[in-house]
Amino acid sequence: MMTLSGINGSEGPCQQISCFSLSIPASPGYYQDGHFVIGGLFSLRVTARDSRIKFGFNDTMNIPEAVIVCYWRSSTVNLTKNYQHILAMVFAIEKINKDPNILFNMSLGFYLFNVDFFETKAMESSMALLSGESPPIPNYCCRPEKTDKLVAVIGGISTGLSTQISRVLSLYNIPQEDESFEVTDLQMVVLDWYYLNGDQEIDTLISYAPFDLSLGTRGQLQSPYQFPVHTAALYQGIIQLLLYFTWVWVGLVVPDDMRGELFIKEITEEMNNHGICVAFAKKGPVFPSDGVVDWYQLIVSLILSRVVVAFGDTHDFLMLVSLIICCATFGNIWITTSDWFTTVLPFKQNKIYTYFGGALSFSVHKDEILGFKDFQRRVQPQKYPHDIFIQHVWSILFKCPHFYEHGVRKKSQCEQNGSLSTRPLNVWDMNTSPLSYKVHAAVYVIAQALHEELSLRVNGESFDKGGLQVPLPWKLHPFLQKGKLGRNINEENAVNQEFSATKLDIFNYQSLKSGTKAQVKVVIWINASKCPEDQYPNKQRNQCLPKIIAFLSHEDTLGAVLVSVAITLSAFSTVILGLFIRYRDTPIVRANNRNLSYVLLVSLMLCFFCSLIFIGQPRTVTCVLRQMIFGVVFSVAVSAILAKTFIVVVAFKAIKPGRTLQMWMVTRLSNAIVCCGSIIQVCICAVWLGTYPPFPDVDMQSEFGQIVLLCNEGSTLAFYCVLGYLGFLASLSLLIAFLARRLPDTFNEAKTITFSMMVFCSVWISFIPTYLSSTGKTMVAVEIFSILASSAGLLGCMFLPKCYVILLRSGGHFRKKYFK
- Residue 328 exposure: Cα atoms within 13 Å on the Cβ side: 22
Q: Do residues 697 and 608 share a domain?
A: yes
Q: Using DSSP bridges, classify how beta strands 502-511 and 517-527 pair: parallel, antiparallel or unpaired.
A: antiparallel
Beta carbons of 648 and 735 less than 8 angstroms apart? no
766-771 mean pLDDT: 89
Best-predicted range by mean pLDDT among 181-190, 206-215, 324-333, 647-656? 206-215
Q: Do residues 541 and 656 share a domain?
A: no
Q: Do residues 776 and 694 share a domain?
A: yes
Dihedrals phi, psi of 628, to nearest 5 degrees: -65, -50
Residue 397 lies in a domain: no
Beta carbons of 336 and 362 less than 8 angstroms apart? yes
Task: Give pLDDT, residue 490.
Answer: 36
Task: Give pLDDT, residue 331.
Answer: 73
pLDDT digits (tens, 9 = 90+) for 403-436: 666 666 665 667 767 899 988 877 888 888 888 9
Residue 48 lies in a domain: no
Neighbours of 171 (CB within 10 A): 25
Question: Which range (493-502, 524-533, 540-549) has the least confidence?
Answer: 493-502
Label each residue of 708-755 as H, E or C.
EEEEECCCHHHHHHHHHHHHHHHHHHHHHHHHCCCCCCCCCCHHHHHH
817 has a pLDDT exceeding 80: no
Task: Give pLDDT, residue 121.
Answer: 86
342-352 mean pLDDT: 55
371 has a pLDDT exceeding 90: yes
Q: What percent of the chain has pLDDT over 70?
A: 66
Residue 381 lies in a domain: no
137 has a pLDDT exceeding 60: yes
Q: State the residue range of the domain holding 759.
A: 557-819
Output 392 or 603, whichever has higher pLDDT: 603
Question: Which range (58-62, 310-314, 464-468, 669-673) has the least confidence?
Answer: 58-62
Output 31 or 26, whichever has higher pLDDT: 31
Residue 503 lies in a domain: yes
200 has a pLDDT exceeding 80: no
73 has a pLDDT exceeding 70: no
Q: Do residues 309 and 354 share a domain?
A: yes
Q: Do residues 527 and 601 share a domain?
A: no
* Residue at which a domain ends, from 511, 545, 579: 545
By CB atoms closer than 10 A (0-12, 13-18, 19+), residue 132 is: buried
Q: Do residues 663 and 792 share a domain?
A: yes
Dihedrals phi, psi of 14, to nearest 5 degrees: -80, 150
669 has a pLDDT exceeding 90: no
184 pLDDT band, cuts 50/70/90, is very low
Q: Do residues 642 and 573 share a domain?
A: yes
CB-based burial, 66-95: b 16+ in 10 Å, e otherwise: ebbeebeeeeebbbbbbbbbbbbbbbbbeb
Question: Which range (188-197, 617-626, 631-640, 724-733) has the least confidence?
Answer: 188-197
pLDDT digits (tens, 9 = 90+) for 782-794: 999 999 999 999 9
pLDDT digits (tens, 9 = 90+) for 556-595: 899 999 999 999 999 999 999 998 888 888 877 776 678 8
Q: Do residues 613 and 533 share a domain?
A: no
463 pLDDT band, cuts 50/70/90, is low
Task: Give pLDDT, residue 17.
Answer: 38
Neighbours of 494 (CB within 10 A): 23
Helix (H, G, I), strand (E, B) or coil at 29: coil
267 has a pLDDT exceeding 50: yes
354 pLDDT band, cuts 50/70/90, is low
Cα 592 to Cα 384: distance, rounded to the nearest angstrom:
108
105 has a pLDDT exceeding 90: no
149-164 mean pLDDT: 85
Task: Give pLDDT, residue 7.
Answer: 39
CATH number of the CATH domain containing 330: 3.40.50.2300
Cα 353 to Cα 355: distance, rounded to the nearest angstrom:
6
Q: Do residues 530 and 578 share a domain?
A: no
CATH number of the CATH domain containing 746: 1.20.1070.10
DSSP 540: T
666 pLDDT band, cuts 50/70/90, is low
449-467 mean pLDDT: 70
Q: Do residues 568 and 693 share a domain?
A: yes
Task: Give pLDDT, residue 92.
Answer: 95
Rg (CA), the chain: 42
Residue 572 lies in a domain: yes
Task: Give pLDDT, residue 25.
Answer: 42
The candidate with the shortest Cα–Cα distance to 712, out of 688, 737, 676, is 688
pLDDT digits (tens, 9 = 90+) for 495-513: 333 334 567 788 776 655 5
DSSP assignment of 306-344 equals SEEEE-S-TTTTHHHHHHHHHH----PEEEE-TT--GGG
Output 319 or 515, whichever has higher pLDDT: 319
For residue 41, what are the β-bridge partners?
113, 155
| Structural domain count of the chain | 2
Q: What percent of the chain has pLDDT over 90?
A: 22
110 has a pLDDT exceeding 90: yes
> Which residues make Cβ contacts (< 8 Å) with residue 319, sequence separation at least 6?
63, 64, 67, 284, 285, 287, 289, 295
94 pLDDT band, cuts 50/70/90, is very high
15 has a pLDDT exceeding 50: no
pLDDT digits (tens, 9 = 90+) for 672-718: 888 998 999 999 999 999 999 999 998 888 788 888 898 988 888 99
The candidate with the shortest Cα–Cα distance to 149, out of 216, 103, 215, 88, is 103
Question: Which range (1-15, 93-107, 541-555, 649-663) has the least confidence?
Answer: 1-15
Cα 247 to Cα 45: distance, rounded to the nearest angstrom:
37
Stated pTM of the model: 0.61
Mean pLDDT taken over the chain: 75
> Which residues make Cβ contacts (< 8 Å) with residue 741, sequence separation at least 6?
748, 750, 751, 754
Residue 631 lies in a domain: yes
Cα 579 to Cα 369: distance, rounded to the nearest angstrom:
82
DSSP assignment of 274-295 equals TT-EEEEEEEEPPSS--S---H
Q: Do residues 538 and 655 share a domain?
A: no
Question: Which range (54-58, 450-454, 764-768) has the least confidence?
Answer: 54-58
546-555 mean pLDDT: 89
Best-predicted range by mean pLDDT among 266-270, 333-337, 462-466, 482-486? 266-270
Task: Give pLDDT, residue 247.
Answer: 93
Residue 286 lies in a domain: yes
Residue 418 lies in a domain: no
* Residue at which a domain ends, from 481, 511, 545: 545
Cα 808 to Cα 794: distance, rounded to the nearest angstrom:
21
By CB atoms closer than 10 A (0-12, 13-18, 19+), residue 235 is: buried
Q: Do residues 691 and 653 share a domain?
A: yes
Task: Give pLDDT, residue 604.
Answer: 92
108 pLDDT band, cuts 50/70/90, is very high
202-231 mean pLDDT: 68
Amino acid at 557: T
pLDDT digits (tens, 9 = 90+) for 308-325: 898 877 666 666 666 666
Alpha helices in 72-157 (DSSP H): 83-98, 119-131, 144-147
**Could you give the angle at the alpha carbon of 647 between the alpha carbons of 642 and 651, nearest 5°?**
160
